[in-house]
């Protein structure tokens, strides 16, 4: 079978590897759609494990199950989580599912014709797709679940003013979910085309990131943002987040600068203003279930976010689209 082996962003090779056979508690799935996530192009995050087969936003069809697997059968349409928490360790019991102490199984990368699903993920990380969710739409389940978790942690509620910094795919999902909750949304980016998407998806105000966003907030909104959701990794975006949050507000780091960057927190100013800083990077099984429900009920629509679809052989071009981030929002690879 063909796989896309990632060595770095400039070196991605289509290679042939044997198609795996599932063990008694495993199953083999055919990958129909897999999205390129923004994290897939973050080299400092991926390089320590290279070479690897990336891809964790998977919509697939079951083709073979092990003898002990009864919950799924060939032909089932499924979404598969890249990892699952144990739900019983100290961290899981506190609700910190993404940092589960016992989470070891990982889904092999989805930029592949077939994927062998390990036992733990067959049992606790595989979800049947509702009939009205397409394979392409299913690639939004995991990123939407991460967005849901971030907004829940920040306790975003109706009527709040939220500043979304960075209007890539995740930032725009934040815009859509925030508008569904009745929030006032201000979106900022350096890319005019992405601001046009934010405007189309319901943002109440879009601001070029080159402007003084805090000043625009005050002049247009009479106050700064109750919540700032940072979906960009540039240091200038971090400064924008610090300057854009109101007293008693919350800054959410949905994206972070590289580990070689030193982020300076205006802690004295924040201490006097009771400002919270939150970090979040993944989701829980509950968030995945909520994401599937939102897509099934069409409360969040995602087809208008898909800008590029291509076969596995063109994955280098797909990574270029995401890396350059000029006219792409959601780039989907269809391996089979």
Predicted pLDDT of residue 104:
87
Which range is least confidently modeled, 45-49, 82-86, 307-311?
45-49
Which two structure tokens, joined as six digits, stand for 155?
């306790």
Going by pLDDT thresholds of 50, 70 and 90, the confidence category of residue 109 is very high
Predicted pLDDT of residue 121:
96
Percent of the chain with pLDDT over 70: 100
**Domain 2-140+302-334 CATH superfamily:** Medium-chain alcohol dehydrogenases, catalytic domain (3.90.180.10)
Q: Does residue 312 sit in helix, strand or coil?
A: helix
Same CATH topology for 2-140+302-334 and 146-279? no
Q: How far apart are CA 14 and CA 4, in angstroms?
A: 5
Does residue 154 register a pLDDT over 90? yes
CB-based contact 152:181 (threshold 8 Å): no
E strands, the chain, are 2-8, 11-16, 27-35, 57-65, 77-80, 114-117, 126-128, 161-165, 184-189, 205-208, 225-230, 245-253, 276-279, 306-311, 330-334
Which two structure tokens, joined as six digits, stand for 323?
């890396």
Q: How far apart are CA 77 and CA 131, in angstroms?
A: 9
Residues 173-210: b if buried by 16+ CB within 10 A, e if exposed: bbbbbbbeeebbbbbbbbbeebbebbeebebbbbbebe
Q: What angle do CA 201, 204, 207 make, to 5 degrees?
A: 95
Domain boundaries, the chain: 2-140+302-334, 146-279
Query: If you average pLDDT over residues 132-139, what whole number do you get?
Result: 98
What CATH number has the domain spanning 146-279?
A: 3.40.50.720
302 CB neighbour count, 10 Å cutoff: 25
Which range is least confidently modeled, 27-36, 42-51, 154-163?
42-51
CB-based contact 34:139 (threshold 8 Å): yes
Does residue 105 register a pLDDT over 90? no
Query: If you average pLDDT over residues 143-149, what whole number do you get?
Result: 98
What tens digit of pLDDT does each residue of 265-299 get? 999 999 999 999 999 999 999 999 999 999 999 99
Predicted pLDDT of residue 88:
96
Query: If you average pLDDT over residues 98-112, what whole number do you get?
Result: 92
Nearest to 55 by CA among 129, 122, 143, 123: 143
What value does the mean pLDDT of the chain take? 96
């Amino acid at each position: 079978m063909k796989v896309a082996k990632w060595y770095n962003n400039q070196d991605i090779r289509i290679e042939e590897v044997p198609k795996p056979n599932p063990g008694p508690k495993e199953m083999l799935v055919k990958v129909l759609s897999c999205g390129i996530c923004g994290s897939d192009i973050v080299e400092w995050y991926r390089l320590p494990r290279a070479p690897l087969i990336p891809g964790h936003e998977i919509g697939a069809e079951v083709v073979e199950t092990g003898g002990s697997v009864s919950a799924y059968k060939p032909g089932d349409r499924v979404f598969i989580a890249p990892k699952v928490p144990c739900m019983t360790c100290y961290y899981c019991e506190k609700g910190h599912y993404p940092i589960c102490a016992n989470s070891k199984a990982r889904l092999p990368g989805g930029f592949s014709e077939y994927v062998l699903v390990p036992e733990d993920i067959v049992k606790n990380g595989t979800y049947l797709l509702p009939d009205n969710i397409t394979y392409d739409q299913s690639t939004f389940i995991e990123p939407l679940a991460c967005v849901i978790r971030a907004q829940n942690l920040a306790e975003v509620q109706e009527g709040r003013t939220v500043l979304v910094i960075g209007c890539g795919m995740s930032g725009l999902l934040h815009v859509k979910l925030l508008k569904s909750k009745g929030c006032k949304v201000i979106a900022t980016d350096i890319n005019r085309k992405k601001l046009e998407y934010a405007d189309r998806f319901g943002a109440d105000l879009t601001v070029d990131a080159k402007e003084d966003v805090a000043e625009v907030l005050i002049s247009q909104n009479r106050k700064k943002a109750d919540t700032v959701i940072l979906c960009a990794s540039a240091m200038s975006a971090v400064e924008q987040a610090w300057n854009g949050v109101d007293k008693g507000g919350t800054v959410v780091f949905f994206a972070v600068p590289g580990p070689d960057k030193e982020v300076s927190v205006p802690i004295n100013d924040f201490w006097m203003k009771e400002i919270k800083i939150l970090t979040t990077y993944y989701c829980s099984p509950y968030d995945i279930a909520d994401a599937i429900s939102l897509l099934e009920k069409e409360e969040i629509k995602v087809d208008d976010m898909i800008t590029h679809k291509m076969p596995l052989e063109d994955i280098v071009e797909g990574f270029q689209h995401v890396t350059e981030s000029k006219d792409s929002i959601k780039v989907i690879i269809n391996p089979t």
